[in-house]
Amino acid sequence: MLKEGQVRIPAGCAISGIFSRSGARTSGEAIIKSISTMHDRSNGLGGGFAGYGIYPEYADFYAFHVFYDTQAARDACEDFLEAHFDIVNLSKIPTRRHPRITDEPMIWRYFVNPLHVKLEASQLDEREYVARCVIRVNDQLEGAYIFSSGKNMGVFKASGYPEDVGAYYRLEEYSAYSWTCHGRYPTNTPGWWGGAHPFALLDWSVVHNGEISSYDANRRFIEMFGYKCNLLTDTEAITYIIDYLGRRQGLTLPEIAQVIAAPFWSTIESRPAEERARLTYLRNAFAPLLVTGPFSILVGFDGGLMALNDRLKLRSMVVGEKGDTVYIASEECAIRVIEPSLDRIWAPRGGEPVIVTLDKGGK
């Protein structure tokens, strides 16, 4: 049977997120409880979490989380990392044996910064340098896969039910101001660990529920800009689209939402002239990055979180607020189970982004 990345696998899913606007950090227990409520939306073939603010002691270093299939892959990857980065710390990621989490690869963590000389020689922006190195390892080093590469954040994922994955990675030992998680329901193969969500590049992380019908149109466009969609998953393509539009084109998050979940032409035409011109421009200039088909996504980034539905809202997604904490999930029950008395709860409209950021930039 072909592994993920050799064949494209559609998947249905559950997502959940918790964000503290004040920056208060909480352990992974609440998010595990939330996602486990939606157990039936996963089928045990993939689960994962992203936490922001989890590595305050290494906040200025890129945290690489890496899967290795073989010792040889690890050797090759570490050679590559040593040639391109200053590695200040490396260790196995702590895990706990779990009866339902099997076939684990070697899972390592590196805190790194680009080698000064290499970075200067490359004449690239630092983040572009890091992104290129990550893409190169994932594309070219057989058996090595960097699945998390941001600063002061990390992705933890595996094949299994998400609550088991959370227990396996001992997420109760991490504290984050922003948690997202994902339970996966792939349809026709034993999910590969790398294929689980979140999918991440630099500090972007994306969890996604849905199956996008625009996948190959999006993929073939985004690959023109150096991205390699090796996993053939929607989430990977969406992550690269967001990185391209946000980091490389400098679009704001609302503008990114207006590209990937662009308003219908009939809606655009009903807007005032200036707004109409702007929306028409965005939709035309980045037409190949329109994403169609059902999706609800949570995009984590440094200091914030964006939730977005496809423009027809073909996937459920609700948002709740309690004090300065924001909850977002596929189903309301996943929010109520951890916060029964909400100040406010609503279902955002299709294509309408919900963006939350740290108060005062988290200072």
Partner 1 sequence: MPIDFLYPEYEVIRNPGRCISCRICERQCANGVHLFDDKTKKMTADESKCVCCHRCVSLCPTRALKIVKTDHAFKENANWTGKAITEIYRQAGTGGMLLSSMGNPEPQPIYWDKILINASQVTNPPIDPLREPMETRTFLGKKPGHIERDAQGNIVPNLSPQLALDVPVMFSAMSYGSISYNSHAALARAAAALGTYYNTGEGGLHKDFYGYGPHTIVQVASGRFGVYKEYLEAGAAIEIKMGQGAKPGIGGHLPGLKVGPDISKTRMIPEGTDAISPAPHHDIYSIEDLRQLVYSLKEATGYQKPVFVKIAAVHNVAAIASGVARSGADVICIDGYRGGTGAAPTRIRDNVGIPVELALAAVDQRLRDEGIRGQVSIVAGGSIRNSADLLKAIALGADACYIATAALLALGCHLCRTCQAGKCNWGIATQRPDLVERLDPETGYQRLVNLVTAWDHELKEMMGGMGINSIEALRGNRLMLRGLGLTQKELDILGIKHAGE
* Residues classed as catalytic: 13
Shortest Å, Cβ 293 to partner 1: 5
Compute the distance between CA of residue 28 and CA of residue 175 in angstroms, rounded to an integer: 7
Compute the distance between CA of residue 159 and CA of residue 183 in angstroms, rounded to an integer: 10
Site string for partner 1, 254-293 (x = CB under 8 A): -x------x-xxx----------xx--xx-xxxxx-xxxx
Q: Contact with partner 1 (CB under 8 A): which of 5, 11, 297, 304?
A: 11
Structure tokens at 161: 């039910």
Query: What does 193-207 look like in DSSP terms, one character per residue?
Result: GGGSSPEEETTEEEE
Q: Contact with partner 1 (CB under 8 A): which of 55, 129, 174, 215?
A: 215
Residue with Cβ nearer partner 1 (103 or 225):
225
Shortest Å, Cβ 171 to partner 1: 29
> Residues 6 or more apart from 274 whose CB is under 8 A from it?
none
Q: Contact with partner 1 (CB under 8 A): which of 59, 72, 312, 333?
A: 312
Residue with Cβ nearer partner 1 (255 or 339):
255
Shortest Å, Cβ 256 to partner 1: 11
Shortest Å, Cβ 93 to partner 1: 32
User: Could you say whether residue 358 binds partner 1 (CB under 8 A)?
Assistant: no
Query: What does 9-70 look like in DSSP terms, one character per residue?
Result: --EEEEEEEEEETT---EETHHHHHHHHHTGGG--SS-EEEEEES--GGGTTSEEEEEEESS
Per the DSSP assignment, residues forming a β-bridge with 326 are: 19, 321
Of 151-210, binders to partner 1 (CB under 8 A) are 187, 210
Compute the distance between CA of residue 269 and CA of residue 261 in angstroms, rounded to an integer: 16
Which window, 3-11, 62-70, 92-100, 321-329, contacts partner 1 (CB under 8 A)?
Answer: 3-11
Compute the distance between CA of residue 46 and CA of residue 143 in angstroms, rounded to an integer: 19
Residue with Cβ nearer partner 1 (91 or 284):
284
Closest residue by Cα to residue 152 from 231, 54, 34: 54
Compute the distance between CA of residue 255 and CA of residue 245 in angstroms, rounded to an integer: 9
Q: What is the crossing angle of helices 253-260 and 273-285, to 10°?
A: 70
User: Could you say whether residue 294 binds partner 1 (CB under 8 A)?
Assistant: yes
Q: Contact with partner 1 (CB under 8 A): which of 27, 113, 249, 316?
A: 249
User: Could you say whether residue 34 binds partner 1 (CB under 8 A)?
Assistant: no
Task: Report the half-sphere exposure of 228 (CA within 13 A, side-chain side).
Answer: 14
Residue with Cβ nearer partner 1 (239 or 325):
239
Q: Which residues bind partner 1 (CB under 8 A)?
A: 8, 10-12, 187, 210-211, 213-218, 220-221, 223-225, 249-251, 255, 262, 264-266, 277-278, 281-282, 284-288, 290-294, 311-312, 314
